[in-house]
């Protein structure tokens, strides 16, 4: 059979073969070509000059694939039948304009050239291309023999197969992956990487991927590349530029690879964490900023202060020559705005204040929200205390310009405490503690002002602290007592108060300190309020007073006071368990609710607004009576007064004093108001019979004051009612007499 095999050209030219033999030879050649291990192609140049013309090279651009064997498909990584019809130049490495077209397709003569073929995944493989022209004059058989020794070629094939498997693996991986040549050109990209950059695979292949790295991150990326090329995996967080101009943060990991196809290089993955990073940045921002105003919060403020207080010298602020100044601003009457205009308006006011403060300070200064209606400003480069005070004044002045909300202008004022950091301030807490002292000094001095923390203020704050500790001990040791001041009907009072009916007594707390003497109740209450002790003090007085009322019943019968008045502090009124506490004391002692009257102040009522009124309503529903104390000294809206569940109004002592100074107007108005609202008008601080007469003429129904009796211990009241002893207030003291208690 093999003797029959002769070259097809001879068969054809000799004309010795039958058509059946020719077909057999053709089939055999085709099968051999199909099975050949060398990649084979048959190409056609439709417009090639016919045989017989002058021999010349045919331009490769015009050649198209007619047929290719399996090995050729493998080499070019093309699917079955994909190559047919393709221009041959598209299978070659792109040739620059200055590179000569390889002269392979020649009429009547074989041609050969070293070229690189381009596989479907972008790999370039060097081959020896040999062309055998066919007798048709338009077709050539091309063999593409990969260059290298058989061992090299086998290795290359293995690498190719490996690469194909790798490519198949990463192609649809969600992780953006690239294969880069050592020269940083992209040899392979997967879909995820194309999506990441918003570019087509064909636009990316063969280009330098580092062109897509953000300029700032380029040095870091090149460092990673250097390490990867040195054989070590490397990684970094960098930004890549998308085709639409956006930047994406990626975690770039490079691992070295070497493949016979493209030599040394590396595989890179670029995991996009832009969204996670943005989320983390948002969280980090939230953790250090106030949600409402966007200002740095306490955490950020303390960090900023720490950085200013802990300079390289490692010492205190002064040691480092720093002159940090801290300004603590507490808005005055913010609660009133919140309660009267609503929380939304309150919020907008805080935002406006934040903006105002930010607009006043210099670059580098910190404006932060400490919480609620408190702001802290930290400034640098303040040389001395007078300048620090001026900084505080300037901030307050800008706040005093007011704020406009929905076309309504609101006045803004603040109590401002200023501290300039010195040697004594080692931590932010030291500075803030002094700011706090200064701010309370400004508050005590009447608000809407700026104060510094000087030695006197610091001593005062220290004494307050000591007093608080002592009060706590006194409370626990049962050293507080209660005294009772009679409240009389104005008609009876004139005829000898001790024998007539006693409508009420006001319970007043007393603390006789072993060293300090009698601590003024105002100071005691203020200290207890400031340090969370007021609930305990208030409960103690309430229990004592309710229990005492019943003990007097037993001892005095008809002479016993009909009711006890107990003062409620603003903080007690804000407490959600006030009503339960009162109910529990009434239940424990057995005092009928209508024999208890709670005295509240206007300011206290304004502080917790609606909640406070609701509590009073519940108390009133239980039968407890309510008196509005010190009326006329606070701010209450007259319209609101009508809606409050009140039984009596207590005209403040200051208006009673004005009576004897020839100014009866306020006392008269207050008594008139009480009567027109159907409330009992009680006058406090009556010290003279002239005042008493005037009050009676103005229509006051009850009176209380030193003219009749001072506050006394429970047993003294028994003696007084039995006529066994003059009341501590008798004979009446002149108004200018010293206060009844030492140390006030």
Euclidean distance between CA atoms 75 and 39, whole angstroms: 7
Does position 629 interact with ligand C2E (CB under 6 A)? The reply is: yes
Q: Which of 71, 139, 567, 702 binds ligand C2E (CB under 6 A)?
A: 567
Q: How far is the CB of 729 from Mg ion (least distance, A)?
A: 16
Does position 569 interact with ligand C2E (CB under 6 A)? The reply is: yes
What are the two backbone dihedrals, phi and then psi, of residue 618, each rounded to the nearest 5 degrees? -65, -40
The one of ligand C2E, Mg ion, none whose footprint includes residue 655, by CB under 5 to 8 A per kind, is: none
CB 241 within 8 A of CB 250: no
Piece of the chain touching ligand C2E by CB under 6 A; list 8-16, 353-361, 675-683, 698-706: 698-706
Q: How far is the CB of 430 from ligand C2E (least distance, A)?
A: 33
Q: Would the CA dihedral through 592, 594, 596, 598 be positive or negative?
A: positive
Euclidean distance between CA atoms 122 and 265, whole angstroms: 14
CB 645 within 8 A of CB 617: yes
Piece of the chain touching ligand C2E by CB under 6 A; list 125-133, 248-256, 416-424, 701-709: 701-709
Q: How far is the CB of 411 from ligand C2E (least distance, A)?
A: 28
Region of residue 574 (phi > 0: left; psi between -120 and 50: alpha; otherwise: beta): alpha
Does position 632 interact with ligand C2E (CB under 6 A)? The reply is: no
Query: What's the token pair of residue 294?
Result: 């966007």
Q: Which of 163, 430, 687, 716 binds ligand C2E (CB under 6 A)?
A: 687
Size of the site for ligand C2E (CB under 6 A): 24
Piece of the chain touching ligand C2E by CB under 6 A; list 192-200, 412-420, 497-505, 699-707: 699-707
Euclidean distance between CA atoms 305 and 326, whole angstroms: 9
Tokens 């009420």 map to which residue?
504
Q: Which is nearer to ligand C2E, 426 or 479 (CB)?
A: 479
Q: How far is the CB of 403 from ligand C2E (least distance, A)?
A: 33
At 210 the three-state DSSP class reads helix
In eight-state DSSP terms, residue 86 is -
Query: What's the token pair of residue 731?
Result: 């004979």
Q: How far is the CB of 740 from Mg ion (least distance, A)?
A: 15
Piece of the chain touching ligand C2E by CB under 6 A; list 38-46, 81-89, 352-360, 567-575: 567-575
Tokens 């019809």 map to which residue?
85
Q: Which is nearer to ligand C2E, 439 or 591 (CB)?
A: 591
Strand 64-68 relative to strand 40-44, pairing: antiparallel
H helices of 239-384, where?
Answer: 274-288, 298-309, 334-341, 343-360
Q: How far is the CB of 428 from ligand C2E (least distance, A)?
A: 35
Euclidean distance between CA atoms 703 and 238, whole angstroms: 82
Q: Which is nearer to ligand C2E, 452 or 605 (CB)?
A: 605
Q: How far is the CB of 545 from ligand C2E (least distance, A)?
A: 8
Q: Which of 630, 679, 688, 698 binds Mg ion (CB under 5 A)?
A: 630
CA distances from 349 to 155, 331, 337 (A): 77, 10, 9
Euclidean distance between CA atoms 655 and 674, whole angstroms: 14
Euclidean distance between CA atoms 378 and 362, whole angstroms: 10
What percentage of the chain's residues is helix, strand, coil (to nearest 5)? 45, 25, 35
Does position 522 interact with ligand C2E (CB under 6 A)? The reply is: yes
From first CA to last CA, the distance across the chain in angstroms is 136
CB 246 within 8 A of CB 229: no
Name the nearest CA neighbour of 460 among 526, 549, 389, 381. Answer: 526
At 645 the three-state DSSP class reads coil
The one of ligand C2E, Mg ion, none whose footprint includes residue 106, by CB under 5 to 8 A per kind, is: none
The one of Mg ion, ligand C2E, none whose footprint includes residue 509, by CB under 5 to 8 A per kind, is: ligand C2E
Piece of the chain touching ligand C2E by CB under 6 A; list 46-54, 520-528, 631-639, 713-721: 520-528
Name the nearest CA neighbour of 716 among 547, 537, 509, 552. Answer: 552
Residues in a beta bridge with 366: 378
Q: Residues 565-604 vs Mg ion: string with x where CB under 5 A?
A: --x-------------------------------x-----
Euclidean distance between CA atoms 589 and 543, whole angstroms: 8
Q: Which of 111, 133, 346, 538 binds ligand C2E (CB under 6 A)?
A: 538
Q: How far is the CB of 485 from ligand C2E (least distance, A)?
A: 6
Does position 87 interact with ligand C2E (CB under 6 A)? The reply is: no
Q: How far is the CB of 569 from Mg ion (least distance, A)?
A: 11
Q: Which of 63, 221, 509, 626 binds ligand C2E (CB under 6 A)?
A: 509
Q: How far is the CB of 372 from Mg ion (least distance, A)?
A: 29
In eight-state DSSP terms, residue 563 is -
Q: Residues 641-680 vs ligand C2E: string with x where CB under 6 A?
A: ------------x---------------------------
The one of Mg ion, ligand C2E, none whose footprint includes residue 706, by CB under 5 to 8 A per kind, is: ligand C2E
Q: Which is nearer to ligand C2E, 329 or 605 (CB)?
A: 605
Does position 525 interact with ligand C2E (CB under 6 A)? The reply is: yes
Does position 470 interact with Mg ion (CB under 5 A)? The reply is: no
Q: Which of 428, 664, 685, 728 binds ligand C2E (CB under 6 A)?
A: 685
Euclidean distance between CA atoms 131 and 545, whole angstroms: 120
Piece of the chain touching Mg ion by CB under 5 A; list 274-282, 441-449, 467-475, 683-691: 683-691
Piece of the chain touching ligand C2E by CB under 6 A; list 194-202, 563-571, 577-585, 588-596: 563-571
Piece of the chain touching Mg ion by CB under 5 A; list 34-42, 46-54, 679-687, 715-723: 679-687
The one of Mg ion, ligand C2E, none whose footprint includes residue 153, by CB under 5 to 8 A per kind, is: none
Piece of the chain touching Mg ion by CB under 5 A; list 84-92, 372-380, 622-630, 671-679: 622-630
CB 305 within 8 A of CB 283: no
Euclidean distance between CA atoms 92 and 398, whole angstroms: 76
Specify the length of the chain in residues.
744
Q: Which is nearer to Mg ion, 44 or 629 (CB)?
A: 629
Euclidean distance between CA atoms 498 and 505, whole angstroms: 13
Does position 546 interact with ligand C2E (CB under 6 A)? The reply is: no
Euclidean distance between CA atoms 14 and 637, whole angstroms: 128
In eight-state DSSP terms, residue 107 is T
Q: Which is nearer to Mg ion, 256 or 735 (CB)?
A: 735
CA distances from 507 to 335, 500, 566, 685, 737 (A): 29, 20, 5, 15, 22
Question: Cα 647–648–654 angle (5° rounding)?
Answer: 160
Does position 365 interact with Mg ion (CB under 5 A)? The reply is: no
Q: Residues 453-492 vs ligand C2E: string with x where CB under 6 A?
A: --------------------------------x-------
CB 607 within 8 A of CB 573: yes
Which residues of the chain form contacts with Mg ion (CB under 5 A)? Answer: 567, 599, 629-630, 684
Which residues of the chain form contacts with ligand C2E (CB under 6 A)? Answer: 485, 507-509, 521-522, 525, 538, 541, 567-569, 599, 629-630, 653, 684-687, 704-706, 711
């Amino acid at each position: 059979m093999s003797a029959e095999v002769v070259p097809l050209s001879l068969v054809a030219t000799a004309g010795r073969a039958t058509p059946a033999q020719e077909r057999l030879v053709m089939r055999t050649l085709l099968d051999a070509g199909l099975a050949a291990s060398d990649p084979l192609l048959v190409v056609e140049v439709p417009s090639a000059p016919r045989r017989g013309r002058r021999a010349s090279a045919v331009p490769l651009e015009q050649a198209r694939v007619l047929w290719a064997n399996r090995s050729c498909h493998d080499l070019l990584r093309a699917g079955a039948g994909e190559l047919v019809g393709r221009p041959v130049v598209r299978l070659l490495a792109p040739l620059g304009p200055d590179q000569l077209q390889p002269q392979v397709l020649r009429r009547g003569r074989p041609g050969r050239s070293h070229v690189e073929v381009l596989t479907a995944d972008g790999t370039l493989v060097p081959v020896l291309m040999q062309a055998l022209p066919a007798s048709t004059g338009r077709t050539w058989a091309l063999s593409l023999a990969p260059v290298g020794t058989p061992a090299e070629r086998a290795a290359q094939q293995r690498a190719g197969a490996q690469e194909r498997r790798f490519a198949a693996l990463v192609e649809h991986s969600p992780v953006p992956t690239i294969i880069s040549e050592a020269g940083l050109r992209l040899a392979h990209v997967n879909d995820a990487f194309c999506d990441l950059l918003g570019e087509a695979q064909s636009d990316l292949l063969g280009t330098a991927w580092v062109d897509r790295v953000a300029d700032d991150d380029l040095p870091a990326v090149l460092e990673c590349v250097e390490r990867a090329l040195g054989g070590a995996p490397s990684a970094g967080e960098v930004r890549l530029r998308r085709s639409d101009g956006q930047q994406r943060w990626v975690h770039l990991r490079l691992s070295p690879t070497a493949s016979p196809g493209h030599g040394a290089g590396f595989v890179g993955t670029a995991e996009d964490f832009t969204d996670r990073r943005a989320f983390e940045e948002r969280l980090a921002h939230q953790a250090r900023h106030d949600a409402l105003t966007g200002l740095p919060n306490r955490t950020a403020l303390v960090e900023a202060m720490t950085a200013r207080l802990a300079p390289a010298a490692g010492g205190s602020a002064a040691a480092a020559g720093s002159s940090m100044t801290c300004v603590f601003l507490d808005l005055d009457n913010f609660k009133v705005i919140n309660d009267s205009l609503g929380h939304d308006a309150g919020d907008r006011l805080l935002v406006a204040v934040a903006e105002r403060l930010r607009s006043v300070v210099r670059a580098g200064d910190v404006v932060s929200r400490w919480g609620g209606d408190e702001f802290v400003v930290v400034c640098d480069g303040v040389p001395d205390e007078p300048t620090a005070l001026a900084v505080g004044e300037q901030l307050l002045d800008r706040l005093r310009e007011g704020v406009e909300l929905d076309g309504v202008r609101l006045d803004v004022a603040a109590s401002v405490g200023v501290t300039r950091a010195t040697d004594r301030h080692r931590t932010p807490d030291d500075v803030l503690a002094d700011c706090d002292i200064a701010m309370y000094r400004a508050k005590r001095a009447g608000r809407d002002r700026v104060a510094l923390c000087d030695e006197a203020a610091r001593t005062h704050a220290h004494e307050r602290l000591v007093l608080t500790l002592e009060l706590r001990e006194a409370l626990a040791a049962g050293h507080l007592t209660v005294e009772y001041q009679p409240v009389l009907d104005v008609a009876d009072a004139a005829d000898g108060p001790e024998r007539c009916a006693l409508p009420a007594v006001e319970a007043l707390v007393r603390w006789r300190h072993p060293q300090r003497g009698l601590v003024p109740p105002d100071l005691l209450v203020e200290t207890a309020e400031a340090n969370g002790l007021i609930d305990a003090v208030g409960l103690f007085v309430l229990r004592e007073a309710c229990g005492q009322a019943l003990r007097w019943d037993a001892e005095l019968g008809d002479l016993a006071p009909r009711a006890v008045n107990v003062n409620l502090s603003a903080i007690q009124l804000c407490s959600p368990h006030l009503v339960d506490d009162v109910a529990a004391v009434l239940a424990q002692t057995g005092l009928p609710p209508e024999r208890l009257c709670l005295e509240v102040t206007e300011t206290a009522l304004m502080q917790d607004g609606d909640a406070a009124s609701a509590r009073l309503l519940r108390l009133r529903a239980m039968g407890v009576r309510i008196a509005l104390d010190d009326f006329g000294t606070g701010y209450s809206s007259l319209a609101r007064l009508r809606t409050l569940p009140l039984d009596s109004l207590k005209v403040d002592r200051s208006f009673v004093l004005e009576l004897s100074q020839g100014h009866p107007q306020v006392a008269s108005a207050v008594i008139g108001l009480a009567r027109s609202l159907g409330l009992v008008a009680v006058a406090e601080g009556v010290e003279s019979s002239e005042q008493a007469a005037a009050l009676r003429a103005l229509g006051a129904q009850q009176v209380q004051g030193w003219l009749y009796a001072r506050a006394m211990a429970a047993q003294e009241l028994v003696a007084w009612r039995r006529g066994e002893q003059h009341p501590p207030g008798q004979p009446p003291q002149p108004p200018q007499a010293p206060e009844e208690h030492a140390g006030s």
